[in-house]
Amino acid sequence: MVIRIFILLLIIITTEIESKDLFPSWRKSLENFNYQLPEELYDKYKEFGYDGAGYFKDSKGIYIRKTRFPNEEINYAIGIRNQKDKFLSDSVFLIFLFNNEELRMITTKGLYTKIDDYSFTGMDYRFGRSYEFIDGNLVKISCLDKGTNFSQPIEISKKEYCGEIIHLDAQGNISNVTDSKNPCSYICNSRYMPYSQPGFYYTTVDQLKLRQSPSSKSDVIMSLPLDTKVQVIEDTFKAERLSPYVNGNWVKVILEDGKEGFLYGFYLRFEKEPNLNLILQKAEEWKKTKNKK
């Protein structure tokens, strides 16, 4: 009888531990954006009791940690950055935010700083192009900005929308476009891309230059139209800043006709990612149609 009770307790404990293991679900979600979570990170995550872990080797920096935001159902964050990118602060990460196993948001985070006021220094805030999800569906595309006039540190991490907010229905159609009434303090374009893993991508601008070497000063092989499909062979992890709000790596690619060269990774999107250009275009069409009524 004692042995049976012991076995039953062991099964219950094992089940509870396994129920905390959200890593496989997170891994699957990130694969849709062509980011892989290394096995070594998984081992550390289990070693540290399924609470959090970090992987900072060579070019890649990845962390898992518990987190929370005011009035949001989010409890875990996975951050990714290019360790070799010296143009960005070490605190800047692309972050995937989850409520347990469910992906809720993709955005960028940094550390809040304010000149002559150190009371809130060290708190995370979110900024840049952001995607929000419910039940696996993309429901909102927006830009987030750093807020002001805080009375409590937790307020720094709240969602502070700027510019327009695009709302989508379960089928991916535009259901509404609203104005946050807050102008962005920066140029909000594509999301931060720490690096591009091998795979198929599409160009997000017209006449993107294919170059002979990973530099904007390199000779141009040819220019590629918008939505050209390319295969990324490898990321050089060589970052270059083309403007204050355009920061990315050079990646080696091969075209469908066999030509090889280097593209600026900031202007690429993974084949399974939302087509931001198309969604923005449809949002403009939706606004024109609404204004005619």
**Residue 50 and residue 159 in one domain:** yes
> 62-83: per-residue pLDDT in tens?
999 999 988 999 999 999 999 9
Q: Residue 233: which domain range?
A: 199-270
Q: For residue 283, tell me if it sits in a domain.
A: no
- Angstrom distances, CA of residue 84 to CA of 67, 132, 235, 237: 26, 28, 12, 7
**Residue 59 and residue 147 in one domain:** yes
> 17-53: per-residue pLDDT in tens?
445 899 999 999 999 999 999 999 999 999 999 989 9
Q: For residue 226, tell me if it sits in a domain.
A: yes
**Residue 161 and residue 62 in one domain:** yes
> 109-154: per-residue pLDDT in tens?
998 877 666 666 678 899 999 999 999 999 999 999 987 666 677 7
**Residue 144 and residue 208 in one domain:** no
**Residue 113 and residue 223 in one domain:** no
* Residue 17: predicted pLDDT: 43
pTM: 0.89
Q: Is 77 helix (H, G, I), strand (E, B) or coil?
A: strand
**Residue 208 and residue 171 in one domain:** no
Asked whether the predicted pLDDT for residue 272 surpasses 60, the reply is: yes
- The gap between the terminal CA atoms of the chain, to the nearest Å, is 76
**Residue 75 and residue 217 in one domain:** no
Q: For residue 58, tell me if it sits in a domain.
A: yes
CA distance 100 to 84: 31
**Residue 79 and residue 170 in one domain:** yes
**Residue 261 and residue 150 in one domain:** no
* Mean pLDDT computed over 3-11: 43
**Residue 173 and residue 32 in one domain:** yes
Q: Is 124 exposed, middle or buried (0-12, 13-18, 19+ CB in 10 A)?
A: middle
Total number of domains in the chain? 2
Q: Is 252 helix (H, G, I), strand (E, B) or coil?
A: strand
**Residue 31 and residue 167 in one domain:** yes
